[in-house]
Amino acid sequence: MQVIATAGHVDHGKSALVTALTGMQPDRWEEERRRGLTIDLGFAWTTLPGGRTVAVVDVPGHERFVGNMLAGVGSVPAALIVVAADDGWSAQTAEHVAVLDALGVAHGLLVVTKSDLADPAPVLADVRERLAATSLAGIPGVAASSRTGDGVPAVAAALDEVLAGLPAPDPAAPVRLWVDRAFTIRGAGTVVTGTLAAGTVTAGDRLSLGGQDVVVRGLQSLGAPVERAGATARVALNLRGVAVEDLSRGDALLTPGAFRETAEADVVLTRTVDKLPAELVVHIGSATVAARVRPLDGAAVRLRLAAPLPLRVGDRLLLRDPGSRTVHGADVRDVDPPELRRRGAARARAADLAAGGGAAADLARRRVVPLADFTAMGWPVPAGATTVGRWLLAPGLADELAARVPAVVARYRQLRPLEPGPPTAVLRSALDLPDADLVAGLVRPPLALRDGRVVSADGGLPEPVQRAVTEVLARLAADPFAAPDAEQLAAAGLGPRELAAAVRDGQLVRVAEGVVLAPGVEERARRALAGLPQPFTLSQARQAWGTSRRVAVPLAEWLDARGVTVRLGDATRRLR
């Protein structure tokens, strides 16, 4: 399916042409049909002679309803421009074409209607000349009479050719469905309609609406139930999880996590203007939001929106001055812009935006950013970028930061020689990282991450401490359960800090305060106990270990805590 929107002055026959093409009356309201005046958006569809299905969004042509017109053309890729042969180019023709030009619509068909009332040739020539300076320059044109039917088949054939030339939408893209209608159906509940410009919607999908999850209970396309609809398509979604009273035109159904709601964006106008008003109205899709305007320099502008919108880099906005009815096109360049504090920052920012460096330049400026946030802005991951957990690092930054880690570790060890290395929080602060989890991706051999610290494989203990530990280990090798007492440890030069360092380094095992033994003591103790009758008493265990009660009591409790032994109700123990 393809979708196209009408455009043109009131009374030039847009709705009549749609009816002649499709056999359907697009006007939905009784008042519209009675007055012969389209007020709101209308919808119709047909299958063209070539077999291609087209849905038509019919927009009002009266100047009072230009807001409704904007909601109808905001999501469609092509326009059906209608000009009457007996009236020619008119005020709303010019306004509608200016809108399409600002939106960058480059595909369309010009139809000069009411060819039975006047010669269409002069109007065709005049409108083509006027379109030459717009994005719609060179589009084909035909003449027709909806009343007599003359030329309508030619319109259908020309429309078929125009639609065949449209760029293919991406069915795998995230969904952003701008709501243009919301209503209830008895027995079904809340229903919304919109033009699906990209992506695919399936019954059962979970989408995000204003920060809350909603579920697609079912969907229709062109009036018929379907299990799945892919872009481009007109769709009606039956939603669970939201009341119709909480919905309005301009809301957007989104793939969760795929878009960033923003109230501030940097844009570049498609045409430089001398002066912009302080406030404009921003249009995208079917949404309309007021915005304060801060010119940066040249065509670069910062917009502060009155309400957040799900914008992405690359979006085309329409900026409208309600007072003068002037419209401007603007391309979104940044949906998370930096603060502008220093003198000259606005001019420098404008130069960056004008340069349009793309994803690599944006990531280089941010340095480190959550990967999900970066892609939600609309950026692809640039070549050479590094992913560490949930974070994305600019190309080359990981190597640059990793090269600084050894100096931080060395300085920390110099100040605290008894510690194996700095905790990750110290590295996070020293390298100005947003998250300590990033440290894991920056530690390179011979450094390693162990127990939350960055340690050196050949770091070890200071030489005097290591010599004392080696002496203690030599004594324990001869008598594994003869833990040295506090006086013996102090005499060897092992105070509380030195002992703690030796334990952290894995060279000693702390069984209890003041009781340290050699690594492997757990298995040695188990083997000694295995030769005893089960269960056994503490006295029997002490004798099997050949040690004092000072060591035996905490060692037995340590083994209990580690699940090696089980203490029974009569104060005896057995091996587990």
Q: What is the CATH number of the domain that holds 248?
A: 2.40.30.10
Residue 390 domain flag: no
Work out the average pLDDT over 333-358.
91
448 band by pLDDT with thresholds 50, 70 and 90: confident
Residue 533 domain flag: yes
35 band by pLDDT with thresholds 50, 70 and 90: very low
Domain that holds residue 32: 2-165
Q: The CATH number of the domain where 502 resides is what?
A: 1.10.10.10
Work out the average pLDDT over 145-167.
95
Same domain, 19 and 108: yes
Beta bridge partners of 284: 287
- Cis? peptide before 113, omega within 30° of 0: no
Residue 127 domain flag: yes
Q: Is the pLDDT of residue 145 over 50?
A: yes
Residue 361 domain flag: no
The number of domains in the chain is: 5
Q: Among 426, 456, 486, identify where a domain stops.
A: 456
Same domain, 134 and 185: no
Residue 380 domain flag: no
State residue 4's pLDDT score: 93
Residue 518 domain flag: yes
Could you report the per-residue pLDDT of 336-345, keeping only the tens digit for each? 999 998 999 9
Could you report the per-residue pLDDT of 301-330, keeping only the tens digit for each? 999 999 999 999 999 999 999 888 899 999
Contact 492, 508 (CB under 8 A): no
Same domain, 203 and 146: no
Same domain, 35 and 129: yes
Percent of the chain clearing pLDDT 90 (strictly above): 72
State residue 450's pLDDT score: 82
Same domain, 539 and 437: no
Could you report the per-residue pLDDT of 58-76, keeping only the tens digit for each? 887 555 556 677 777 778 8
pTM: 0.79
Residue 430 domain flag: yes
State residue 13's pLDDT score: 87
Instruction: Say which residue, 282 or 459, is predicted with more confidence.
Output: 282
State residue 537's pLDDT score: 95
State residue 416's pLDDT score: 83
Could you report the per-residue pLDDT of 496-520, keeping only the tens digit for each? 888 888 888 788 999 999 899 999 9
Same domain, 284 and 140: no
Work out the average pLDDT over 184-198.
89
Q: Which residue has the tokens 């009569």?
A: 570
Q: Among 220, 254, 288, identify where a domain stops.
A: 254
Q: For strands 228-230 and 386-388, give the pairing.
A: unpaired
Same domain, 52 and 114: yes
Residues with Cβ within 8 Å of 388's Cβ and at least 6 positions away in sequence, in order, are 398, 437, 438, 440, 441, 442
SS3 49: coil
Q: Which of 29-33, 497-501, 523-527 has the lowest mean pLDDT?
A: 29-33
Q: Among 112, 142, 165, identify where a domain stops.
A: 165
Same domain, 94 and 206: no
Query: Highest mean pLDDT range out of 367-381, 437-451, 479-493?
Result: 367-381
Same domain, 133 and 13: yes
State residue 37's pLDDT score: 45
Work out the average pLDDT over 203-210.
94
Mean residue pLDDT across the chain: 90
Residue 368 domain flag: no
Same domain, 198 and 312: no
State residue 407's pLDDT score: 93
Percent of the chain clearing pLDDT 70 (strictly above): 95
Same domain, 444 and 471: no
Could you report the per-residue pLDDT of 451-497, keeping only the tens digit for each? 888 887 665 677 788 888 899 999 999 999 999 998 999 888 888 88
181 band by pLDDT with thresholds 50, 70 and 90: confident
Q: Is the pLDDT of residue 410 over 90?
A: no
Residue 28 DSSP label: -
Q: Is the pLDDT of residue 426 over 50?
A: yes
SS3 311: strand
Work out the average pLDDT over 259-273.
93
Contact 78, 108 (CB under 8 A): yes
- Tell me how far CA of residue 16 lies from CA of 11, 30, 144, in angstroms: 10, 16, 11
Q: Which of 151-155, 183-187, 242-246, 400-404 has the lowest mean pLDDT?
A: 183-187
Distance of CA 505 to the CA centre of its chain: 43
Same domain, 543 and 472: yes
Contact 163, 52 (CB under 8 A): yes
Range 135-140 contact pairs with CB under 8 angstroms and sequence separation of 24 or more:
135/100, 135/101, 135/104, 135/105, 135/106, 136/79, 136/81, 136/97, 136/100, 136/101, 136/105, 136/106, 136/108, 139/81, 139/107, 139/108, 139/109, 139/110, 140/109, 140/110
State residue 503's pLDDT score: 86
